[in-house]
């Protein structure tokens, strides 16, 4: 008999049911983290959340006030340019015993606290990525000082069901955003390019994509399970004068390595600037 996971007694609310909000919601429900009756969602797209509510048999909050009052763990999963509107709408109903979890790229814990005009708030900043939808996500977590050890355990147990977690100092969150938050897009681009190369050389797309996907998946698992440096594993594939050496030569010649590093650095800078732009805008 399959062992049933213990559900948290807490009431969980989600503001913003976009890709990340929906993925976290689906993962928590699939993994039996909260009782469905204890989950409340709110989004401006009434039609969308109506469909989601029926799909998962969960509650729709008719407004932000109801969601805040009926939940004690609140996930904010909106776009950065919508964050100030959300915080302005919830601060009049908020209380210090509640936990805010923010997925908003670039929004610092201090900026959220200042905007809510509360001291000593329990704020958790996370950076998940979209593979959480299939419980294969990477979730980085930072805490405000007010979050207790027990509350940290609750948060970490929640997201452990979604994939791998790592607890980091918040000062590293922008580079984490650039690597793992944006990373799936880089991986999908590489997969698309590999599959297209197969088609260019006469292979059908379905087979090309299957080859590329399994190759990326298997290579990632090798790094993880063998715990060896990627360069060592790369050299094991590369025979002198062979096909792999030829392919690597072209990639190095076309600056693949530096292009990826520059892309991550640029994304990191963008994340840093998001907080400045959002915070300035929200303070006007």
**Whole-angstrom distance, CA of residue 50 vs CA of residue 196:** 39
Is 192 among the domain residues? yes
Boundary (domain end) residue, out of 137, 171, 205:
171
Shared-domain flag, residues 17 and 117:
yes
Report pLDDT digits (tens) over 120-172: 899 999 999 999 988 899 999 999 999 999 999 989 988 988 899 999 999 99
Angle at 235 between CA 229 and CA 232, to 5 degrees: 15
Residue 94: pLDDT band (50, 70, 90) is confident
Q: List, as own/partner pairs, every contact residues 115-122 make where C-beta atoms lie below 8 angstroms and the sequence separation is at least 24, other chains included.
A: 115/84, 115/87, 115/88, 115/91, 115/279, 115/282, 115/283, 116/87, 116/90, 116/91, 117/91, 118/91, 118/94, 120/96, 120/146, 121/96, 121/146, 122/96, 122/97, 122/98, 122/146, 122/147, 122/151
**In CATH, what number is assigned to the domain containing residue 220?**
1.10.3730.10
Residue 8: pLDDT band (50, 70, 90) is low
Residue 281 scores a pLDDT above 70: no
pLDDT of residue 277: 62
Shared-domain flag, residues 35 and 153:
yes
Shared-domain flag, residues 95 and 226:
no
Shared-domain flag, residues 30 and 129:
yes
Is 281 among the domain residues? no
Q: Is the CB of residue 49 less than 8 Å from the CB of residue 42?
A: yes
Percent of the chain having pLDDT more than 70? 94
Boundary (domain end) residue, out of 147, 171, 195:
171
Report pLDDT digits (tens) over 15-61: 999 989 998 999 888 888 888 999 999 999 999 999 999 999 999 99
Which among 147, 105, 139 is positioned nearest to 274, based on CA atoms? 105
Give SS3 for 122: strand
Is 136 among the domain residues? yes
The tally of domains found in the chain comes to 2
Residue 9 scores a pLDDT above 80: no
Domain that holds residue 70: 12-171
Q: What is the DSSP letter of 181?
A: I
Shared-domain flag, residues 142 and 194:
no
| Helices and strands counted in the chain (H then E) | 12, 8
Q: Hey, which residues does 165 pair with through a beta bridge?
A: 139
**In CATH, what number is assigned to the domain containing residue 150?**
3.40.50.720
**Whole-angstrom distance, CA of residue 93 vs CA of residue 67:** 10
pLDDT of residue 218: 97
Shared-domain flag, residues 133 and 191:
no
Shared-domain flag, residues 165 and 187:
no
Shared-domain flag, residues 60 and 135:
yes
Which among 189, 194, 186, 236 is positioned nearest to 211, based on CA atoms? 194
Boundary (domain end) residue, out of 117, 147, 171:
171
Report pLDDT digits (tens) over 255-269: 999 999 999 999 999
**Quick one: average pLDDT of 158-187?**
95
């Amino acid at each position: 008999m399959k062992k049933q996971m213990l559900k948290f007694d807490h009431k969980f609310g989600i503001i913003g049911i976009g890709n990340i909000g929906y993925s976290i919601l689906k993962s928590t429900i699939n993994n039996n983290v909260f009782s469905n009756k204890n989950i409340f969602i709110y989004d401006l797209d009434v039609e969308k959340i109506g469909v989601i509510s029926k799909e998962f048999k969960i509650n729709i909050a008719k407004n932000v006030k109801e969601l805040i009052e009926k939940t004690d763990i609140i996930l904010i999963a909106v776009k950065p340019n919508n964050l100030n509107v959300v915080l302005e709408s919830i601060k009049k109903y908020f209380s210090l015993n509640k936990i805010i979890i923010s997925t908003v790229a670039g929004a610092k814990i201090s900026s959220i606290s200042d905007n809510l005009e509360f001291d000593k708030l329990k704020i958790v900043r996370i950076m998940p990525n979209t593979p959480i939808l299939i419980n294969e996500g990477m979730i980085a977590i930072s805490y405000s000082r007010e979050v207790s050890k027990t509350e940290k355990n609750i948060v970490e147990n929640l997201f452990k069901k979604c994939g791998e977690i790592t607890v980091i100092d918040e000062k590293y969150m922008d580079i984490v955003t650039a690597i793992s938050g944006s990373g799936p897009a880089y991986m999908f681009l590489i997969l698309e390019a590999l599959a297209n190369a197969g088609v260019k050389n006469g292979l059908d797309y379905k087979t090309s994509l299957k080859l590329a996907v399994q190759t990326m998946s298997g290579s990632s698992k090798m790094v993880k399970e063998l715990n060896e440096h990627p360069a060592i594993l790369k050299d094991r594939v590369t025979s002198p004068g062979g096909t792999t050496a030829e392919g690597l030569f072209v990639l190095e010649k076309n600056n693949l390595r530096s292009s990826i590093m520059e892309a991550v650095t640029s994304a990191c800078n963008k994340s840093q600037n998001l907080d400045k732009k959002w915070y300035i805008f929200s303070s006007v």
